[in-house]
């Protein structure tokens, strides 16, 4: 019987194949390779979606019956999936080097989830506080925000190498960066608000200054500052690119740092 582990394992291998397809494209410069890479991404995404869905079904078979969004392993898988969603939605605006970077991030997340001995892969029952539909909305919006910030970070980093042949022009990078931040900021705002409502129902308080809540707020403030400076201060170019990198550093601390180094309601290092 095919399990979700098998399907997700195959999707990880396909992400690796996608990585090498882009490397081959950069070396050979043949557009036919990009077409193959696009269909590889579609197949990878379809299998990853099927794997997530099958894990959900398997949780019902085990008598738990919850969406696979509750532990560290599941969050890594969903983070990777969210990046692919955003890449497909923004496909016409993204250049190959940006898609390559995003696909590499998805591969890294899937490989870490699949191969790290410290990641618990078993389906686990939900604690009462997590048995809420608000969990689904909160997690989905937050990870879509993180995915958008991956694209923003990529554009910010590439801006400092725009003279290279495969890197898009600075104005194009800035436009993609701006759109990514708009998407990410909107999703993160929704994630924080739905998280506050969920916290009120689960723990009786909208906000408790849990480490992840605090760092989510810091991340929100950084990206709000980027948008504010763009609208009112006319910040463009390297300034925005640099702030995008700073913003993503905050995302990394929010997701990875809190899980491993700071105890709290949101911490799940396994």
Number of domains in the chain: 2
141 and 234, same domain (yes or no): yes
Distance CA 167, CA 75 (A): 31
- What pTM did the predictor assign? 0.92
- Mean pLDDT over each residue of the chain, to the nearest integer: 90
Domain membership of residue 83 as a residue range: 1-126
144 has pLDDT over 80: yes
Pairwise CA distance, residues 226 & 182, whole Å: 10
> 92 and 67 in one domain?
yes
Residues 150 and 199 in one domain: yes
- Shared domain check, 33 and 65: yes
Q: Contact 198/141 with Cβ under 8 angstroms?
A: no
Q: Are residues 118 and 136 in the same domain?
A: no
The average pLDDT across 108-124 equals: 90
* Among 76, 101, 126, residue at a domain's last position: 126
Euclidean distance between CA atoms 14 and 46, whole angstroms: 11
Q: Which helix (H) or strand (E) holds 63?
A: none
Q: Grade residue 269 by pLDDT with cuts at 50, 70 and 90.
A: very low
Cα within 13 Å of Cα(1), Cβ side: 4
Judge if 100 and 139 occupy the same domain: no
Cα(255)–Cα(143) distance, integer angstroms = 10
Of 102, 126, 150, the one marking the end of a domain is 126
Query: What percent of the chain clears pLDDT 70, i.e. is strictly above it?
Result: 95
Rg (CA), the chain: 19
Residues near 50 by beta carbon (within 8 Å), at least 6 away in sequence: 7
Q: Of 86, 107, 126, which marks where a domain is finished?
A: 126
For residues 122 and 162, membership in a common domain is answered with no
Higher pLDDT, 220 or 61: 220
Mean pLDDT value across residues 133-156: 94
pLDDT tens, 190-228? Answer: 999 999 998 888 778 888 888 888 999 999 999 999 999
Judged against a pLDDT cut of 80, whether residue 263 lies above it is answered with no
**Cα distance between residue 20 and residue 236, in whole Å:** 34
**pLDDT class for 247, splitting at 50, 70, 90?**
very high
Helix runs in the chain, H state only? 4-28, 31-61, 72-89, 96-115, 133-159, 170-203, 211-232, 238-252, 258-261
Give the model's confidence band at 266: pLDDT under 50 very low, under 70 low, under 90 confident, else very high: low
Query: Is 264 found in the same domain as 133?
Result: yes
Residues 254, 165, single domain; the answer is yes
Comparing CA positions, the residue from 45, 42, 22, 46 lying closest to residue 34 is 22
- pLDDT range class, residue 148, cuts 50, 70, 90: very high
CATH value at residue 139:
1.20.120.1770
């Amino acid at each position: 019987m095919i399990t979700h582990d098998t399907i997700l394992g195959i999707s990880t291998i396909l992400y690796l194949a996608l990585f090498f397809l882009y490397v081959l494209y950069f070396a050979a410069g043949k557009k036919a390779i990009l077409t193959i890479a696009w269909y590889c991404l579609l197949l990878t995404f379809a299998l990853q979606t099927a794997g997530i869905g099958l894990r959900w079904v398997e949780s019902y078979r085990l008598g738990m019956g919850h969406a696979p969004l509750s532990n560290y392993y599941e969050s890594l898988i969903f983070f990777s999936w969210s990046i692919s969603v955003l890449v497909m939605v923004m496909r016409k605006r993204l250049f190959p080097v940006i898609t390559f970077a995003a696909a590499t991030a998805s591969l890294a997340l899937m490989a870490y989830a699949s191969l790290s001995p410290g990641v618990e892969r078993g389906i686990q029952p939900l604690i009462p506080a997590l048995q809420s539909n608000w969990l689904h909305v909160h997690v989905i919006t937050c990870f879509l925000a993180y995915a958008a910030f991956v694209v923003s970070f990529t554009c910010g980093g590439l801006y400092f190498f725009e003279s290279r042949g495969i890197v898009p022009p600075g104005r194009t990078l800035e436009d993609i960066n701006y759109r990514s931040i708009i998407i990410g900021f909107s999703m993160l705002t929704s994630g924080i608000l739905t998280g506050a409502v969920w916290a009120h129902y689960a723990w009786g308080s909208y906000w408790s200054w849990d480490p992840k809540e605090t760092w989510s707020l810091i991340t929100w403030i950084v990206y709000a500052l980027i948008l504010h400076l763009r609208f009112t201060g006319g910040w463009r170019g390297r300034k925005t690119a640099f702030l995008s990198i700073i913003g993503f550093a905050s995302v990394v601390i929010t997701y990875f740092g809190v899980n491993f180094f700071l105890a709290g309601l949101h911490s799940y290092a396994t």
